[in-house]
Structure 1
Amino acid sequence: MKFSDIDFSAISRIMDSMSDEEKDKLNDMAQNMMSDMQKPQESEEEEIDDFYAFLGIKEEDYQDLPGGVLDALEAACDLEQFYSEDPEADFSASILFYCKALLQMLRNYHYPIYKNVLELDGFTNPATTTIQQYFLPLMQTETIHTLVDQNFGTPQGWVCHKNLLQQASILLSRAEYDFIRYEDLQSFKNLLIKEKGLLQIKELI
């Protein structure tokens, strides 16, 4: 049906023939339909606002990051909030998603450097790389010197980044075989978010 096919004069005649009570009911129905259509959008906007507010970050600082990174961060926040009322809860699931966001950043921004500049073995497909593969080479001082000599970041920046990856590796192992306390999660979040370790990945290149 086209817009031009609508007989507005007929609609007008129908409206004129209605009682005031019928018109009020019709208006209420139309208003309810409009409200229902707006609710999903409002709910989605509220969730986004809650996500950034929960982490205490500015949307403009993160909006250009890959979508998978933001999805993982949001999932980590949801899980953290879900378990936060239980002081004895295991926050391993939340750690996994924070580390997933970290790995997505590494694959997106650092994979080309490891493959083409450092020319390391095992970097044939970004989708199969792990946090350990990005962390272990940085244990060698020569690796950091090579990166800085090629105008990638600063020595201090790479050392901070190495410490972040080291913590991620430790917590991933504990999440798989042990237990993650709330305090452990907050300590890692401090490195990842408050100290901008996640954003620094992009800045190092």
Structure 2
Amino acid sequence: MKFSDIDFSAISRMMDSMSDEEKDRLNNMAQEMMDNMKNEQESEQEEDMYSFYGINEEDYKDVPGIVLDQMEAASDLEVYYEDVKDEDFSASVLFLSKAVLNMLRHYHFSIYKNVLEISKFSNPNMTTVYDFLYPLMNDETIQKLCDEGFGESSMWIEHRSMLQQIYTALNRAEYDFINYETLQEIKSILFDKNGLLNITKLI
């Protein structure tokens, strides 16, 4: 049917014959339809988490689900405040720190418990980022891990540096203020420099 074929006078007469209640119901239906169309368009335009971080979904297919959930929560919070760059982005850093911690618990807990034989490592859920960082401050610990076949010294030193920066940012997020630039630095460490995925290469 062509636009010129529409009988607008008939539509007008039909509208005139309707009660106010029927008109309101029709208007509400039309408004709901318009809102749904708008929401669908906005949903299609939303950037998924992997695109947001500039990472390959395939590289993260074996990462624990809880880590992915925390990465997504961090990205959602950043997007929520993206138009206000002077906001406190501590919440995003907290979720990214949780993602790091759960990666450490999943991949490194048994190393600290069975290889380094650290008595504190009896329950993974009771460990903190600092618990995984502190032993690495001793170069002899790193050498022992390398001697046992767990990665190379340079990789552990890079990993230690990453944990130091995450731990510092975590403390600031808990007790101070995280600006937009600091959040971008943390994301760069974890995703551009593969700090998060490199945890899997040290097992």
TM-score with structure 1 length normalisation? 0.76
Of 169, 174, 177, 1:176 maps to: 174
Q: Tell me whether 1:162 sits opposite 2:160 in the alignment.
A: yes
* Count of residues in Structure 1 that have an aligned counterpart in Structure 2: 164
Matching residue of 1:108: 106
How far does residue 87 in structure 1 lie from its aligned partner after superposition? 1.8
Of 64, 80, 90, 2:62 maps to: 64
How far does residue 121 in structure 1 lie from its aligned partner after superposition? 2.2
What is the rounded CA distance, in whole Å, between the counterparts of 1:158 and 1:107 in structure 2? Answer: 16
What is the rounded CA distance, in whole Å, between the counterparts of 1:137 and 1:113 in structure 2? Answer: 12
Matching residue of 1:145: 143
What pairs with 1:21-100 in structure 2 (closer than 5 Å)? 50-100=48-98
CA RMSD, Structure 1 to Structure 2 (Å) = 1.8
Deviations 1:126-181 (A, max 9, x none): 01100000001000000000000001011110011001110111111111111001
Query: Given residue 179 of structure 2, which amino acid in structure 1 is its aligned partner?
Result: R
What is the rounded CA distance, in whole Å, between the counterparts of 1:46 and 1:154 in structure 2? Answer: 43
What is the rounded CA distance, in whole Å, between the counterparts of 2:108 and 2:195 in structure 1? Answer: 14
Matching residue of 1:32: none
What is the rounded CA distance, in whole Å, between the counterparts of 2:85 and 2:49 in structure 1? Answer: 22
What is the rounded CA distance, in whole Å, between the counterparts of 1:90 and 1:55 in structure 2? Answer: 20
Query: Given residue 139 of structure 1, which amino acid in structure 2 is its aligned partner?
Result: M
Identity %: 53
Q: Which blocks of at least 5 consecutive residues in structure 1 are unaligned?
A: 1-35
Which one has more relative contact order, counting CA pairs under 8 Å at least 6 apart?
2
Aligned with 2:197: secondary structure? Answer: helix
How far does residue 46 in structure 1 lie from its aligned partner after superposition? 7.9
Aligned with 1:122: secondary structure? Answer: coil
Moved more, 136-145 or 79-88: 79-88
Aligned with 1:152: secondary structure? Answer: coil
Matching residue of 2:4: none
Query: Given residue 145 of structure 1, which amino acid in structure 2 is its aligned partner?
Result: Q
What is the rounded CA distance, in whole Å, between the counterparts of 2:167 and 2:88 in structure 1? Answer: 17
Matching residue of 2:6: none
Aligned with 2:121: secondary structure? Answer: coil
Q: Which blocks of at least 5 consecutive residues in structure 2 are unaligned?
A: 1-35
Aligned with 1:124: secondary structure? Answer: coil
